[in-house]
Amino acid sequence: MSDRSPAVLALQVHLEDHQLIFFQPGEERQAVAGEPRHTQLTAWMTYNRASAGEDPECLRALYPDFPQKYRWDAGQKRWHRRRNMQAAPTIGRVVSLTPRHGDVFYLRVLLHHVPGATTFAELRTVDGQVCGTHQEACRRRGLLLDDQEWAETLAEAVRTQRPGQLRQLFVVLLLFCAPADPATLLHRFQAAMGEDFARRHPELPPETVTGLVLLRISDSLQRAGKTLEDFGLPPEENQQAELEEFSTWLLQLGNGELPTDAEGRVTLPPALVLEAELPAVIDWTFGNLTDADSMASRAVLAPTNSTVDSVNSYVTDIFPGQAVECLSVDATVGEEQEPVPQEYLNGLCVPGLPPHHLLLKPGMPVILLRNIDPARGLCNGTRLLVVAVHGGRLLEATVACGSAAGRRVLIPRLTLQPPDDAFPFEWRWR
C-alpha cells in the first residue's frame, strides 16, 4: 500500500486462539492445512505486546489510527514506527461492514474505541470481565443503538426501586430515550411494574395486573401529551374488549337504558364493585402514599359530604409526615346583622369549601378553589402537592398535573364566601 493513500486495514476474526479462515468451496483441506495468516490486525496486537516497554505511545493508538505513526511492512508482515512524519498523514480505513456480517462487525466497532489492545480477549474485556462475543462487549460499553441499555437500566432499578417508580422510569424511557422495541421491554418487566397490584390483590389474573400497569403508564403519558399508541403499546385484545364493553355500559347508564329495581337503583357489574372497608379502598386507590404520581393522578369520589370528611380524616391520619394545623378566620359581613357566635361559624360546613380546621402534610394533594393565575396553571380545580405550610398562613406547593406540572407556587390565605342564599345571614372566612 502507498504511504500517500488511505491504508485499507485487514480485519480478521479470532475466536479465542483460533483464526476464522475464509475459503472457496472445494478448498476446505487446503484451508485447514494452511498456516494461520499474520494479518495487519494480528501484527498490530503483536507490536503492542512486544513494544509497549520501549514505545508506550502505541498503547494509546486505535487500530484505524495506527498507520499515521506506523508503517506496514508487507514482506515481513509487521509494523514499524515511522521515523519521519509525512506532511500528508496516512489515513487508516478499516474494511467497511454492516451488522449482517455478524460478530466481525462488532469487532470493527471495538477497534474504533479500544486503543492499544494486545489480544482479542483484551478487546472484549469490559470492566475487568471478558465478554463472550464482540457484540456483547459493544453492548456493555454502550456502543450499540439497541434496547439492551434500557433493559439493564430497568433491571438495575428493579433491585432498588418500588413498582410505582419503575413505571415512572419506563415512562421516562418512552418519552426521552426512544427505545426501539417498547413492547418487548414492557413484557420483560411488567411483572415487576405490577408487583404492588399483585401483592395487594393476589386474586387478580396476570392480564388484569398488566392492564393496571398500562393504565398507570397511560396516565403519566397523557400528562405529557402522549398516549400508549404513540409508542406501539395499544391495550391487549381482551383489555380492548373490556374497555369497549365498559364504554357501552356507561352510555346505557347515562341514557337511562339499564334495568332498575323497584327503588330505581341500577345494579353495578361485579367487576366495578370492591367489597372492602375504607383502608382497603385507600390502599387499592393510592398504593404507596409517598408516590407523587399516585397522589397527583388519583382520587376517591363519594356521594355525601360526611363520607368525604371521613375519607379525608382517615387518609390524613395515615399519611406520613408531621401535620400542620391551619385555621380559618370566620366573620359575618356588615354591622347591621345580628351577631353570630364565632364557634357556630367555625362549625359550619359548606360543600366545595374547606373546613375551619384543616390539617396538611408535605406531599399531600390539595385542590385550589380560586382562579389565581390561569396562565401559570393556577385556576379553580388545579391539583397541588403540599411542599410546606409556613406559619399556618402561607402554602408552598407544586402543581401536580397539566402543562404547569412541577411548578412551585406560593399561595396565601384567601377570603372565601358562600352563595348569598345558602344562609340566612351573610358571612365569609379567610
Categorize the per-residue pLDDT at 142 as very low, low, confident or very high, splitting at 50, 70 and 90.
confident
Please compute the mean of the pLDDT values over residues 292-308 and round it to a whole number.
Answer: 82
pLDDT averaged over the chain? 82
Q: Which long-range contacts (CB under 8 A, 24 or more apart) does 383-389 make?
A: 383/296, 384/409, 384/411, 385/292, 385/295, 385/296, 386/360, 386/361, 386/362, 387/362, 388/324, 388/362, 389/324, 389/326, 389/360
> Which pLDDT value is given to residue 33?
60
> Which pLDDT value is given to residue 346?
85
Residue in the block written with cell 346583622? 337
d(CA 172, CA 224): 10
| pTM attached to this predicted model | 0.47
DSSP letter for 145, please: -
Q: Is the pLDDT assigned to residue 230 strictly greater than 90? A: no
> Which pLDDT value is given to residue 44?
92
Q: Which phi and psi angles does 365 have, rounded to 5°?
A: -80, 140
> In the chain, where are the structural domains located?
8-141, 147-237, 274-320, 323-429
Residue 64 in grid coordinates = 484505524
Cβ burial 316-336 (10 Å sphere, 16+ → b, else e): eeebeeeebebebebebeeee
Residue 185 in grid coordinates = 421491554
> Which pLDDT value is given to residue 117?
94
The predicted-structure confidence for 143-152, as pLDDT tens digits, reads as follows 877 788 788 8
The predicted-structure confidence for 307-318, as pLDDT tens digits, reads as follows 888 899 999 999
pLDDT over 70 for what percent of the chain? 86
The string of DSSP letters for 337-392 reads: SPP--HHHHHH---TTS--SEEEE-TT-EEE--S-SBGGGTB-TT-EEEEEEEETT
Contacts of 290 (CB under 8 A, 6+ apart): 320, 363
Q: Is the pLDDT assigned to residue 130 strictly greater than 90? A: yes
CB 187 within 8 A of CB 170: no
Q: Is the pLDDT assigned to residue 60 strictly greater than 50? A: yes
CB 168 within 8 A of CB 193: no
> Which pLDDT value is given to residue 317?
92
Q: Is the pLDDT assigned to residue 425 strictly greater than 80? A: yes
DSSP letter for 209, please: H
Beta strands 129-130 and 18-19: pairing type?
unpaired
Please compute the mean of the pLDDT values over residues 205-229 and round it to a whole number.
Answer: 86
Please compute the mean of the pLDDT values over residues 273-297 and round it to a whole number.
Answer: 82
Q: Is the pLDDT assigned to residue 258 strictly greater than 80? A: yes
